[in-house]
């Protein structure tokens, strides 16, 4: 019985079923590609937004120190070795400052024991001295990561001292912490090869550098990533293939009916028309056909 049931399945129906399965497969791939594209677009938009906010926060902090280091009152206080007054000139009107330090341009203390001094602190001080400008970096200080700013203070064209300002890391990372991030994407603030703070799916970290938003004047950057679809085709291609398979399946199912609608041969139609009409005898018996009148006879 099973063999008869299998044999009774028409080949067209079997092919139609395969076409429907293919349509479902391509449709699923198209949906996945669409979802992946939406995640990627959202990740890119979020990275750009967070990068803009982090850049604004960093530039605001840099401008605070840059505007203070050129004050004549600051140079005067340092020339008098009044570091307390100099520190007050830095912190007045600048909320969030954790500490202000003053270091000699030779950085002898730092070079004497860089590990105890702090490699990150020494690096940002060197960079500020080299560029003669305010520079920023994330460093390990006061028992944890901090945002550090350093700038030279000049008087009569020479460097009097180097100013070092320590700020909370949240000054820079607040936009990342507040970002509306899904668990399926990844967002991080990086400096060099180190992730200062990261959120989301850490499995995506290796592919997050593409399109990174760099924070000017630093090695800091905002990176993000989203899962990539397994398929190589685009969503549009997958949906087109799915639609094509549906058309093929419909054609296979409707094939018997379409055959019946085809025009029949002219000879066959004529024979059917001829066979369908009544015969002469039937017409005569029904009184619908009168016999011919006899021809008149003439007298001899």
Q: Which two tokens stand for residue 119?
A: 């490699």
Length of the chain: 300
Note the pLDDT of residue 166.
98
Rounded Cα distance, 214 and 212, in Å: 6
Between 55 and 15, the higher pLDDT residue: 55
| β-pairing verdict for 186-191 and 135-141 | unpaired
Between 264 and 183, the higher pLDDT residue: 183
pTM of the predicted protein model: 0.70
**In angstroms, how far is CA 50 from the centroid of its own chain?**
14
Residue 198: beta bridge partners?
Answer: 188
Distances (CA, A) of 260 to 3, 16, 58, 254: 29, 19, 77, 10
Q: What is the DSSP letter of 232?
A: S
CB atoms within 10 A of CB 297: 6
Rounded Cα distance, 43 and 225, in Å: 6
Q: Which two tokens stand for residue 289?
A: 């056909």
Range picked from 17-26, 59-68, 273-282 for highest mean pLDDT: 59-68
Q: What SS3 class is residue 200?
A: strand
pLDDT grade, residue 56 (50/70/90)? Answer: very high
Rounded Cα distance, 278 and 105, in Å: 124
Note the pLDDT of residue 20.
72
Mean pLDDT, residues 136-160 taken together = 96
| Whether the predicted pLDDT of 64 surpasses 80 | yes
| Whether the predicted pLDDT of 112 surpasses 70 | yes
Note the pLDDT of residue 300.
44
Q: What is the DSSP letter of 47?
A: H
Note the pLDDT of residue 4.
44
Between 14 and 270, the higher pLDDT residue: 14
| Whether the predicted pLDDT of 117 surpasses 70 | yes
Note the pLDDT of residue 240.
73
Rounded Cα distance, 153 and 68, in Å: 9
**In angstroms, how far is CA 272 from the centroid of its own chain?**
68
């Amino acid at each position: 019985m099973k063999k008869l049931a299998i044999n009774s399945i028409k080949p067209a129906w079997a092919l139609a079923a395969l076409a429907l399965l293919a349509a479902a497969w391509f449709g699923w791939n198209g949906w996945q590609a669409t979802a992946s594209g939406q995640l990627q677009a959202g990740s890119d938009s979020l990275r750009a937004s967070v990068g803009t906010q982090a850049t604004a926060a960093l530039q605001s902090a840099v401008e605070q120190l840059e505007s203070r280091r050129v004050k004549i009152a600051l140079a005067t206080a340092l020339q008098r070795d009044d570091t307390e007054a100099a520190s007050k000139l830095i912190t007045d009107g600048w909320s969030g400052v954790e500490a202000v330090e003053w270091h000699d341009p030779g950085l002898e203390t730092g070079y004497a024991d860089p590990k105890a001094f702090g490699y990150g602190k020494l690096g940002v001080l060197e960079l500020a001295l080299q560029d003669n400008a305010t520079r920023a970096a994330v460093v390990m200080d006061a028992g944890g990561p901090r945002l550090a700013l350093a700038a030279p203070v000049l008087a009569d064209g020479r460097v009097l001292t180097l100013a070092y300002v320590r700020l909370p890391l949240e000054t820079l990372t607040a936009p990342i912490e507040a970002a509306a991030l899904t668990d399926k994407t990844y967002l991080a603030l990086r400096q060099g090869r180190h992730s200062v703070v990261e959120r989301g799916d850490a499995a995506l970290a290796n592919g997050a550098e593409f399109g990174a938003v760099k924070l000017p004047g630093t090695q800091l950057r905002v990176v993000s990533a989203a899962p990539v679809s397994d398929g190589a085709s685009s969503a549009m291609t997958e949906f087109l293939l799915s639609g094509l398979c549906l058309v093929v399946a419909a054609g296979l199912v409707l094939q018997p009916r379409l055959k019946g609608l085809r025009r029949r041969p002219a000879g066959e139609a004529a024979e059917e028309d001829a066979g369908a009409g009544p015969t002469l005898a039937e017409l005569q018996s029904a009184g619908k056909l009168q016999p011919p009148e006899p021809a008149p006879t003439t007298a001899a």
